[in-house]
Chain A
Amino acid sequence: MSTPTPNKIQRRPFVAELLKHRGDALVVPGLGSPTWDIFAAGDSPEYLYSWGGMGLAVPTALGIALAQPKRRVLALTGDGEMMMGIGSLAVVADQAPPNLTILVLDNESFSETGRQRGLSSGRTDLCRVAEGFGIARTMLVTDQERMPELVKFIFTAPGPSFAVAKIAITDDPWRLPEKDGATIARRFRGALGL
């Protein structure tokens, strides 16, 4: 059922390196692996950890970006989570918040549930999908050496923008952050002075 990919990027060091450069950007991870990845790199009240609500990372990040136009917002999600909420890219294109960026960690599989093959492993090209929805600025990264360029694309270039990092399927230890939603929300709002 699972198909090995030639993807080289190792998700944990990749996400850790990216987050070193986030400044005061707010990070909205998709449920599961992206949440474990950011917590593995360090804890922050500006991380809105997610344990559920598949398909809602981009809509939630969009709501935050519209409410906080002076803060950069990064939706950091997986390919399966992105596919479930794929229509939300049209909403992002329509609202066009300049402070919102989406980064898909694409291992072309449902890695949380047993590495079943995902829809981005074949004919579906997520960057072209995003462009078709009207998000003009896209970037495909297959190599961690492009990190400096990606950092600029995600944290300083005008949005809305959409990047895909083709990541390897790896065995990473569980790194489980706070799971009480009310606590996560309270500290996130607290970090915004709310």
Chain B
Amino acid sequence: MAASNGVTWPADVFREMQAREIKTVCTVPDGGLTQLLKMVDADKGMRLVTLSTEEEGIGIATGQWLGGTRAMIAMQSSGVGNCINALGLPTTFRAPCLMLVTMRGQWGEFNPWQVPMGQAVRPALEAVGVKCFPVDKAEEVGEVFAAAADIAFHGLLSAAVLISQRVIGAKGFGQK
């Protein structure tokens, strides 16, 4: 897979998804996910499910596992808050749940509206039993994603990969 703008982690994640037969990606999109979502959308063997709110993805991914296939949910950190009650579903069913979260509200954030939820992502996820895998180096995203996917699908647990804003790059809105 050709890298775009020298960014290679989306292709790394895509490769690890394919190796594990994760064929459905449920998402409310984020800028940091653009390249990965394009790859999924372009692949005829995969399904991109656009959501109205992130918690729907928790239900859909749980349903996919109940029906014998694998899915994941990709979202911006602000969407994590929408998922908290829903995360009781896979936990109670003892179903796997794999989340890929691109972080806002941390490294070099310009927009103060992103900060409260961004700072609460990890404690909120851990409070409902989700194993968190933060990663702040682009070259490590693929292997961290693979590790989280394996603990989710083999351990029948909920796991979230939290890709730092340091990897994505802060959105500066053209301001100094």
Seen from chain A, the residues whose Cβ lies within 8 Å of a Cβ on chain B are 28, 48, 51-68, 85, 87-88, 90-91, 94-95, 181-182, 184-186, 188-189, 192, 194
Contacts and interface: CB of A to CB of B under 8 A. Distances in A.
Given A60-B89, A62-B63, A88 B50 contact: no
Interface of A is mostly: helix
Interface stretch (B52-60, B104-112, B161-169): B52-60
Contacts of A182: 92-94
A56 B94 contact: no
Contacts of B85: 53-54
B69 interface: yes
Nearest to A51: B92
Contact of A91 (B50, B88, B92, B93): B50
A65 B91 CA distance: 21
Contacts of B69: 66-67
Contacts of B159: none
Contact of A63 (B52, B67, B94): B67
B59 A59 contact: yes
A185 B51 CA distance: 24
B130 interface: no
A52 B88 contact: yes
B62 interface: yes
Interface string B47-88: 101111101111111111111110100000000000001101
Given A63-B61, A67-B67, A85-B59, 19 more contacts: A52-B88, A53-B85, A55-B55, A56-B59, A60-B89, A62-B60, A63-B65, A63-B71, A64-B66, A65-B63, A66-B47, A66-B64, A88-B52, A91-B51, A94-B49, A94-B50, A95-B49, A181-B92, A189-B66
B24 interface: yes
B95 interface: yes
A53 B86 contact: yes
A178 B67 CA distance: 20
B60 A68 contact: no
Contacts of A194: 68
B66 A63 contact: yes
B20 to A, nearest CB: 16
Nearest to A95: B49
Nearest to A48: B66
Max chain A C-beta neighbours (<10 A), residue from B50, B51, B59, B64? B59
B59 A184 contact: no
Interface string B128-143: 0000000000000000
Given A53-B85, A88-B52, A90-B52, A63 B59 contact: yes
B64 A67 contact: yes
Contacts of A61: 63
21 contacts: A53-B85, A53-B88, A54-B85, A55-B59, A56-B86, A59-B60, A60-B66, A63-B59, A63-B63, A64-B63, A65-B67, A66-B47, A66-B67, A67-B63, A67-B66, A67-B68, A88-B52, A91-B60, A182-B94, A184-B93, A185-B95
